[in-house]
Chains A and B, each alone.
Chain A
């Protein structure tokens, strides 16, 4: 990208070649009105209000690219007339219910109507009857809708559900006189608006992953959260800047709080908002906000019991839904009291990272989700992407749709959400335990063979063989024929018979034998037929490669080998590698805590069961604050240490109080922020000095990025061959959460389901003769559980999965670490 100089309204600014004028203006603090445009998504050209004059020609700032030396005027008399007419059109028949509308003044229609100065109406059209629609978590009022299509755009370009589209409005045509009298662009915009309405693709109901991003981007009150509807005005909320506590994406959110009611002055979270131009939320982040530990008071006797338990204990078992500061307190307690710290999920990730660094020479992976957004070839291995980290899925979809990208998704469970992102994405449904083969395939396809260790190159070549195949192809063949025709002899005026030779081209099918290279890895991984050709097509003109790897690899029985292969991929291919940590702060815990494998005799459980349990879920022996009740930092997939703040009050004891009882004298938990281990890449920065915002150009100014430190390497790059016979081809079960769920905390939110079961694809339910709610016994070599069958429309194939968010199922006990297990399922 070349740096270029353009002039907007006399202001000289620097931008990148190929950047849209609107984005260049926004990044430099120049205001150009725009309603339908979303940063990071493709221009919709619905509102046409971003008209500007570039080098004397009217263009739309949202889709006109800046050229070096361009002179841009944001207003001319004609543009002002267009904008005024556009806003008048938007106001035609718009219900005057601003007083009760849930947008309550945060309304772009209101803003631009005032900005443009609309004080009277010129246009009119007969209104149509548009009843409100209930789409479950989202409520649509078509009469408020201004058809900017931002919901459709974000759903398609960012989220990847493409669950919304336009349908006919059934309106009268616009009166002919307006076509003559009104400004051209305003008429065109009205003409389009007048023909369409938003509707779910699935008919009356919204069939999607319920991220609610459509309601976030809606500039008016047409799409709102059903739960929030009419409960509060926007201006009454205090906005608490925070980091979402559910998954490793670490999305920036704001908790909107207000008193519960007149009778109850306690603050309550009414909704979660996001800076939708820069960060997109999933449904768990948006709707799973009320997971706080309510009505907690200090019980000194419970605290004394906790201190006694710590004295007695030899182990602390915990989950990664804690802040970095708490993790540091646990580490300090370990050092002080000689305890073991047990967190198997974080330990697996920690080990994976350290095995990876034996080859990469770095403590952390190189990539982040920004690089995935910018890539044009994205590969995901070993992750149920849409539920492990919805933002990783959004990034992949965004790359596919915005960068004309293509992608590969390696996972045993067929995922229609991923497969429907683009026609340039293919899922390779390999068998469980074949992840190493996938990594080898990556090395084989993309590795720089001249640089790779020779043993590896040799091993990879062992999968190749030359095969002679008969291919049928059509060839053009020239055929010469002699034809006789009658030609008028001009001299004599008589028709004569003339013979002439005519050459024609005919298509002819021929069979021929060609020698092709056969890659046995394709077969081992169940790649679809014709995959070689698909891949060639996918790889045409691709420049930026991104690989995401997920928890299937960390828990893999040969995780060490997987980690080393991932490091080799990073080293010898053009891929940037991003690892998806399991939970909200798995990366932070893995960096801060020295973890142990086995529990001892007396365990303190923190948010997990133990002999003495500390819990933010309200079910323990001593209450702890949940992540929306405490300040601290969380480490995200982008290796970023993000600050989060207190949204709701908490009246009980915190982990720091226990630490203080053991002589770690610290008044506030956040005093530990500056003491996070610098030798692990953290920085000695005070909590209050951590920024938490995005700039107008979309730059993320949140906390700080962990330093990717160098570690010494031995130079040993040997990897073990994989054993294809280990592939599990029998019936398996998977350990993952359904859409909208991550942990016991999301299950506490009142808008999300609180209990889980065995999630089965629709087709598998039919083949097995199950119906929703049937009780089944799920049995693996490690144990069995009785639960109910729940249909999941967002997976396909035979593999069912058990969730971890419903702790009553104790799903983990059925697995031996690895997220797949052979299973027998019987209806009871």
Chain B
């Protein structure tokens, strides 16, 4: 018996590599169904599977990543929890508070508070990302003109609540880490494309 599914408009032609597989027809009566269950349950195939597992187990040659103990290396374009970086020389925050990340965010989960500081500069007093809503699309890092917000490699966000905020202090590189040279640069989303300088026409300067 041959079960045929009717293909409609799937561009299946004679010359394509498609072929029909043998699928036995489904049991129709209750008795036939019962027989199929009994046959499948007690067939020796079960023990073949168990034997494969047993054989591989005693070989001690396991290919599975031992996840919390062992982690895979991440590519530079991997997009995990955000980080706010500092300028290497001065230690100032790179974020200028332009608000582009806030604007571009498609899940509307970024907010910032800004004010004018004592030096007449725009200061970001608070910055938050609602990770319960963030879809880690990377637009914020891509739009950032200052390489200030980046996607770091931390993807473990276990928490009691989905919507736990990421606040500025959590994301910003601590000064001691910066001084220790431990701030990492991320060549991924938003980073300068190699060779960008050559693509820019220089503006003439009179001095």
Partner of B112, one of A125, A172, A262: A262
A482 in the interface (beta carbon within 8 A): no
Task: Give the bracket for the number of chain B residues in contact with chain A.
Answer: 20 to 34
Binds B, one of A28-36, A227-235, A396-404: A227-235
Is B103 a contact of A100 with CB atoms below 8 Å?
no
Binds A, one of B59-67, B93-101, B180-188: B93-101
Is A230 a contact of B113 with CB atoms below 8 Å?
no
A808 in the interface (beta carbon within 8 A): no
- From 80 to 125 in chain B, residues with beta carbon under 8 angstroms from any chain A beta carbon are 96-100, 102-103, 111-116, 120-123
A236 in the interface (beta carbon within 8 A): yes
**B75 neighbours in A (Cβ, 8 Å):** none
A236-B206 contact, Cβ under 8 Å, with A120-B201, A230-B116: no
What's the Cα separation between A115 and B100 when bound, in Å?
22
Is B201 a contact of A261 with CB atoms below 8 Å?
no
What's the Cα separation between A132 and B204 when bound, in Å?
25
B170 in the interface (beta carbon within 8 A): no
A126-B207 contact, Cβ under 8 Å, with A100-B97, A100-B98, A132-B120: yes
A233-B99 contact, Cβ under 8 Å, with A100-B122, A124-B205, A126-B207: yes
- From 174 to 207 in chain B, residues with beta carbon under 8 angstroms from any chain A beta carbon are 201, 203-207
B153 in the interface (beta carbon within 8 A): no
Is A262 a contact of B201 with CB atoms below 8 Å?
no
Residue of B nearest to A141 (CB): B120
> What mask results when residues 227 to 247 of chain A are scored 1 for a CB within 8 Å of chain B, else 0?
001111101100000000000
Residue of A nearest to B114 (CB): A230
Residue of A nearest to B145 (CB): A99
A121-B203 contact, Cβ under 8 Å, with A132-B120, A233-B103, A235-B103: yes
Is A236 a contact of B99 with CB atoms below 8 Å?
yes
Is A231 a contact of B103 with CB atoms below 8 Å?
no
Residue of A nearest to B125 (CB): A261
- From 200 to 255 in chain A, residues with beta carbon under 8 angstroms from any chain B beta carbon are 229-233, 235-236
What's the Cα separation between A123 and B203 when bound, in Å?
9
Residue of A nearest to B168 (CB): A262
Residue of A nearest to B204 (CB): A124
- Chain A at the B interface: SS class: loop
- From 83 to 139 in chain A, residues with beta carbon under 8 angstroms from any chain B beta carbon are 98-100, 104, 119-127, 132
B4 in the interface (beta carbon within 8 A): no
Partner of A99, one of B96, B111, B128, B201: B96
Residue of A nearest to B98 (CB): A99
A261-B113 contact, Cβ under 8 Å, with A120-B201, A122-B204: yes
**B111 neighbours in A (Cβ, 8 Å):** 259, 262
**B169 neighbours in A (Cβ, 8 Å):** none
Is A231 a contact of B114 with CB atoms below 8 Å?
yes
**A236 neighbours in B (Cβ, 8 Å):** 99, 102-103
Count of A-B residue pairs with CB < 8 Å: 60
A262-B128 contact, Cβ under 8 Å, with A230-B114, A236-B102: yes
Partner of B206, one of A122, A124, A233: A124
What's the Cα separation between A230 and B113 when bound, in Å?
10
> What mask results when residues 253 to 289 of chain A are scored 1 for a CB within 8 Å of chain B, else 0?
0000001011100000000000000000000000000
What's the Cα separation between A778 and B102 when bound, in Å?
56
What's the Cα separation between A122 and B206 when bound, in Å?
11
**B207 neighbours in A (Cβ, 8 Å):** 126-127
B77 to chain A, nearest CB (A): 25
What's the Cα separation between A231 and B112 when bound, in Å?
10
Is B206 a contact of A126 with CB atoms below 8 Å?
yes
Is A231 a contact of B98 with CB atoms below 8 Å?
no
A115 to chain B, nearest CB (A): 20
A105 to chain B, nearest CB (A): 9
**B145 neighbours in A (Cβ, 8 Å):** 99
Is A123 a contact of B204 with CB atoms below 8 Å?
yes
What's the Cα separation between A99 and B100 when bound, in Å?
8
**A229 neighbours in B (Cβ, 8 Å):** 116
Which of B115, B123, B203 has the largest number of chain A CB atoms within 10 A?
B203
What's the Cα separation between A98 and B145 when bound, in Å?
11
Is B122 a contact of A262 with CB atoms below 8 Å?
no
What's the Cα separation between A545 and B204 when bound, in Å?
57
**B116 neighbours in A (Cβ, 8 Å):** 229-231
Is B206 a contact of A125 with CB atoms below 8 Å?
yes
**A230 neighbours in B (Cβ, 8 Å):** 97, 114-116, 122-123
Is B99 a contact of A104 with CB atoms below 8 Å?
yes
**B123 neighbours in A (Cβ, 8 Å):** 230
B110 to chain A, nearest CB (A): 10
Residue of B nearest to A91 (CB): B203
What's the Cα separation between A99 and B120 when bound, in Å?
15
Is B99 a contact of A262 with CB atoms below 8 Å?
no
**B120 neighbours in A (Cβ, 8 Å):** 132
- From 14 to 55 in chain B, residues with beta carbon under 8 angstroms from any chain A beta carbon are none
**A98 neighbours in B (Cβ, 8 Å):** 98
**B115 neighbours in A (Cβ, 8 Å):** 230-231
> What mask results when residues 124 to 151 of chain B are scored 1 for a CB within 8 Å of chain A, else 0?
0010100000000000000001100000
Partner of A262, one of B96, B98, B113, B203: B113
What's the Cα separation between A262 and B112 when bound, in Å?
7
B43 to chain A, nearest CB (A): 63
A181 to chain B, nearest CB (A): 13
Residue of A nearest to B146 (CB): A99
**A263 neighbours in B (Cβ, 8 Å):** 126
**B99 neighbours in A (Cβ, 8 Å):** 104, 233, 235-236
Which of A99, A172, A229 has the largest number of chain B CB atoms within 10 A?
A99
Residue of A nearest to B113 (CB): A261
Residue of B nearest to A104 (CB): B99
What's the Cα separation between A779 and B120 when bound, in Å?
47
**A123 neighbours in B (Cβ, 8 Å):** 204
**A259 neighbours in B (Cβ, 8 Å):** 111
A113 to chain B, nearest CB (A): 13
A36 to chain B, nearest CB (A): 25
**A124 neighbours in B (Cβ, 8 Å):** 203-206
What's the Cα separation between A201 and B201 when bound, in Å?
42
**B121 neighbours in A (Cβ, 8 Å):** 100
Residue of A nearest to B127 (CB): A262
Residue of B nearest to A122 (CB): B204
Partner of A100, one of B96, B113, B203: B96
What's the Cα separation between A232 and B97 when bound, in Å?
9
**A233 neighbours in B (Cβ, 8 Å):** 98-99, 102-103
What's the Cα separation between A104 and B122 when bound, in Å?
13
**B103 neighbours in A (Cβ, 8 Å):** 233, 235-236
**A120 neighbours in B (Cβ, 8 Å):** 201, 203
What's the Cα separation between A100 and B201 when bound, in Å?
24
A32 to chain B, nearest CB (A): 29
What's the Cα separation between A524 and B28 when bound, in Å?
118
A214 to chain B, nearest CB (A): 20
Residue of B nearest to A172 (CB): B206
Partner of B204, one of A119, A121, A262: A121
**A121 neighbours in B (Cβ, 8 Å):** 203-204
**A231 neighbours in B (Cβ, 8 Å):** 114-116
**B126 neighbours in A (Cβ, 8 Å):** 261-263
What's the Cα separation between A100 and B114 when bound, in Å?
10
B82 to chain A, nearest CB (A): 15
> What mask results when residues 154 to 171 of chain B are scored 1 for a CB within 8 Å of chain A, else 0?
000000000000000000
**A104 neighbours in B (Cβ, 8 Å):** 99
**B122 neighbours in A (Cβ, 8 Å):** 100, 230
Is B114 a contact of A232 with CB atoms below 8 Å?
yes
Which of A98, A236, A262 has the largest number of chain B CB atoms within 10 A?
A262
What's the Cα separation between A175 and B204 when bound, in Å?
13
B195 to chain A, nearest CB (A): 19
What's the Cα separation between A229 and B116 when bound, in Å?
7
What's the Cα separation between A233 and B145 when bound, in Å?
16
A-B contact pairs, 8 of them (CB 8 A): A98-B98, A126-B207, A132-B120, A230-B97, A230-B122, A233-B99, A262-B112, A263-B126
Given A126-B206, A230-B122, A236-B103, 8 other A-B residues pairs in contact with their CB atoms under 8 A? A100-B96, A120-B201, A132-B120, A229-B116, A233-B102, A235-B103, A236-B99, A236-B102
